[in-house]
Structure 1
Amino acid sequence: MNCEACRSVISSESAMKCKLCSSIYHCQCLNISKAQFSSLGSEYRASWVCPSCHNITRRTKSNTNTPVKQHLVPLNAGDIDGSINMSLDNSGHGSLRMGPETEPVTMESIGKLLDSKLQVSFASFMSEFRSNFQNDVKKLVRSEMTAVIDEVKNDFCTSIEFISEEQTSLKAQLEEKCKTIKTLQSNNISLQRDINTLNNRIANIDKLSRSCNVEIQAVPESRSENLVSIFKKLCSVIKVPMEDMHVQACRRVAKMDNSSKRPRNILVTLCNPRLRDTILSSTARYNRAQPDAPLNSSHLGFQGESSRIYVAEHLSPECKILHKRTREAAKDKQYKYVWVKYGRIYVRRDDQSGAILIKNELSLSKL
């Protein structure tokens, strides 16, 4: 078949066929490059209308007398982008142009057009995309944060309620414990007062029970000893008459300190306190009358080296400990006199000073 433009034989497949008149044209005659031809789709090729038929159609519709070979004739509405027109010149060669009175369409011009269109569209698309993306991110973050905040809020409220309940319970328990403590403190004060009262009563009873006793210290021990005879001998030395009926009991008592090498004390229970006081006062007078030879073991008939013998009231263990500590404190602080009378301990610094009653350890600290 021959080309309608150049009348030469069409030997290649690069040709366009009009759907109206079935005329065939070389792509070169239509000024279409091979690359442009390859980019044309099959639908476009099937619906293509040659410039002559297209010009006739335009004249029929528009009733114009525009010559085919003098002006650019547009393709049908199904062309590439709606603006590509095609025409044939007087020499029989066609040209593909961009609209009326424009430069010929090339790949460079199409690229520039696409770049400009895409640049504007892409900038608008990116702006809209950023805005939408930011809004979506804000909504997503707000939604997630709201959910997390609500969860934390619920957990916090639950914890606060639990803590509040526990605090209320602890407060009630604390108030109850405070009441109990106050009650116990009051009871403790009352019990302490009662204990002090009972201790005083016990001390008085203990003192009363010892009011008839005399304790003789540092008397040498022997297996065959007769304690009553020894006591009578002592009474004869200090000039106090003593009968067997006056002595209710006479025995040695255990040591408070087992490591002590002193003999065990002799405890004598008399018939009445007045006799005990007589023996104590007579012993004191005897020792004052003979300061160079006070009462000792030789006066009671013991052979060998003599040792000092002491006659004292029968004190309780607590009172004995306090008496010992009083003697030590008096020695350190240079008090001249320490004595016991009726179960009470006294000290005096010198002959001109007054007597001080030692009731307890606190009294010693005030010396």
Structure 2
Amino acid sequence: MNCSACKSALHASSSLQCVACKACFHYQCLNMSDGHFKMNIKELRRAWRCDSCMNITRRNRTDSTPVASPHRLQEAGRAGACSSLAHVEQQHIADMSCDESLINTSSVSCGSAGTSQAKDVDVSITMKQFSDLIDAKLDSIRIRDQNREIPVSKVPGIPEIQDKIKSELEKVTNSIRQEFSETTDFLHAEQKDLKKSISEQNSNLRAELNSIGMRLKAAEKTSRSCNVEVQCVPERRSENLVAVFKNLCKEIELPITDMDIRSCRRVAKMNPTSKRPRNILVTLPSERHRDQVISYVKRYNLKNAKSPINSGHVGVPGGENCPIFVSEHLSKDVKELHAAARRAAKDKAFKYVWVKYGRV
């Protein structure tokens, strides 16, 4: 890195850097003594500023270091720029209670409209006095501007800028509104199509589900078509269900052989909390055998209305004889429907409710 004044190479031990503009200088180029630099090196490197970045009141340099020439040129430019201000303030300076030793009066020409003579008066002030005058004037202008509130609409150029910004914002807003409207319309159309497609799929699925349900019910009905359900037969630990069913057939005078009984077992209750014994499910060779058993039971009950078929007729000893019911093997849905139909028949005083071929 080179010195900003002499353009020579810099060494860290003999250089200073401005904390404002980051320009670097030899301390010799800044007219600093070796003792002063070494004694104050920490403070200088922490807060030192170059002449270009210092406050305007620092104008009284008279040294001849490499940094001094640019300083004088800068002061000369400022003095030339402020010469008109100095002439305006001459009368004010004359009235100020300044130190008279700093002002030497010689000849400055002042023309008067009512006199024919010209007097030359020369007013000379030091650079320090001139600097104080400029600072005071700038401070007064700054304080006056701070105390005076200027409406934004009266500042030159501000209304035009506001109108331009407003116009651009309206364009952007309209563009965003249009894009958002197009996006929402597109999403709405997509959602509508999707909803319609889902509705059609749901309808198809419902129809297919209903069809599957009907086929399942038909298959379930077919699988139960050869079964007979014997209800309310008391349970025993070592019971012979085949013998119980054969005793039932013997009581109703229906001839049956062991080959006609495909299977005979108890099934689980639909309502586990019910106190009724589990039903006996008997599988027969065909629907004709099933219908014969049910028909013979109904015929027996009609003949023996005072003593219909009961647990004593099937060889279940002990206790009170319990009525026994023989019916088709119904699915859960049909059983629930049958129970609801019996309740409705009781409420409406209907005489009969029966099941045939799996229908109530």
SS in 2 for 1:340: coil
In the other structure, the counterpart of 2:169 is 155
SS in 1 for 2:245: helix
Match of 2:300 among 276, 283, 286: 286
TM-score (norm 2): 0.55
Q: How many residues align?
A: 218
The reply on whether 1:342 has 2:357 as its aligned counterpart is: yes
Match of 2:252 among 222, 227, 238: 238
In the other structure, the counterpart of 1:308 is 323
In the other structure, the counterpart of 1:318 is 333
In the other structure, the counterpart of 2:346 is 331
Which sections of structure 2, spanning at least 5 residues, go unmatched? 1-109, 118-149
Structure-1 separation of matches of 2:153 and 2:162: 14
In the other structure, the counterpart of 1:261 is 275
Deviation (angstroms), 1:145: 5.2
Deviation (angstroms), 1:297: 1.0
Match of 1:215 among 229, 237, 242: 229
TM-score (norm 1): 0.54
Q: Which moved more, 1:150-159 or 1:188-197?
A: 150-159
- Tell me the alpha carbon deviations over residues 161-181 of structure 1, each in whole angstroms, 9 at most, x when there is no partner: 223222222222222222222
Structure-2 separation of matches of 1:247 and 1:173: 68
Q: Map 1:18-33 onto structure 2 (within 5 A).
A: none
User: Percent identity of the aligned residues?
Assistant: 41
Change in 2 beyond 3 A, CA 1:169/1:237: same
The code of the aligned residue for 2:298 comes to A
The reply on whether 1:180 has 2:194 as its aligned counterpart is: yes
The code of the aligned residue for 1:181 comes to K
- Tell me the alpha carbon deviations over residues 33-89 of structure 1, each in whole angstroms, 9 at most, x when there is no partner: xxxxxxxxx998x9499xxxxxxxxxxxxxxxxxxxxxxxxxxxxxxxxxxxxxxxx
Change in 2 beyond 3 A, CA 1:224/1:152: same
The code of the aligned residue for 1:185 comes to S
Structure-2 separation of matches of 1:277 and 1:154: 92
Deviation (angstroms), 1:224: 0.9
- Tell me the alpha carbon deviations over residues 164-208 of structure 1, each in whole angstroms, 9 at most, x when there is no partner: 222222222222222222222222222221221121111111111
Change in 2 beyond 3 A, CA 1:139/1:152: closer
CA RMSD in angstroms, aligned pairs only: 2.9
Change in 2 beyond 3 A, CA 1:155/1:220: same
Change in 2 beyond 3 A, CA 1:195/1:156: same
Structure-1 separation of matches of 2:111 and 2:185: 90
Structure-1 separation of matches of 2:156 and 2:252: 113
The reply on whether 1:140 has 2:154 as its aligned counterpart is: yes
Structure-1 separation of matches of 2:258 and 2:158: 111
Structure-2 separation of matches of 1:138 and 1:170: 40
The code of the aligned residue for 2:178 comes to S
SS in 2 for 1:341: coil
The structure, 1 or 2, with the larger RCO (C-alpha pairs under 8 Å, 6+ apart) is 2
Change in 2 beyond 3 A, CA 1:172/1:291: same
- Tell me the alpha carbon deviations over residues 307-331 of structure 1, each in whole angstroms, 9 at most, x when there is no partner: 1111111111122122222222332
Structure-2 separation of matches of 1:271 and 1:320: 23
Structure-2 separation of matches of 1:168 and 1:187: 28
Structure-1 separation of matches of 2:268 and 2:322: 20
Deviation (angstroms), 1:141: 8.2
The reply on whether 1:193 has 2:207 as its aligned counterpart is: yes
SS in 1 for 2:281: strand
Structure-1 separation of matches of 2:156 and 2:274: 92
Match of 1:270 among 284, 290, 298: 284
Which sections of structure 1, spanning at least 5 residues, go unmatched? 1-41, 50-135, 346-367
Structure-2 separation of matches of 1:329 and 1:169: 59
SS in 2 for 1:250: strand
Structure-2 separation of matches of 1:224 and 1:138: 108
Structure-2 separation of matches of 1:294 and 1:153: 101
Change in 2 beyond 3 A, CA 1:138/1:175: closer
In the other structure, the counterpart of 1:61 is none
Structure-1 separation of matches of 2:295 and 2:111: 154
The code of the aligned residue for 1:201 comes to R
The code of the aligned residue for 1:186 comes to E
- Tell me the alpha carbon deviations over residues 102-122 of structure 1, each in whole angstroms, 9 at most, x when there is no partner: xxxxxxxxxxxxxxxxxxxxx
In the other structure, the counterpart of 1:251 is 265
The code of the aligned residue for 1:312 comes to S
In the other structure, the counterpart of 1:205 is 219
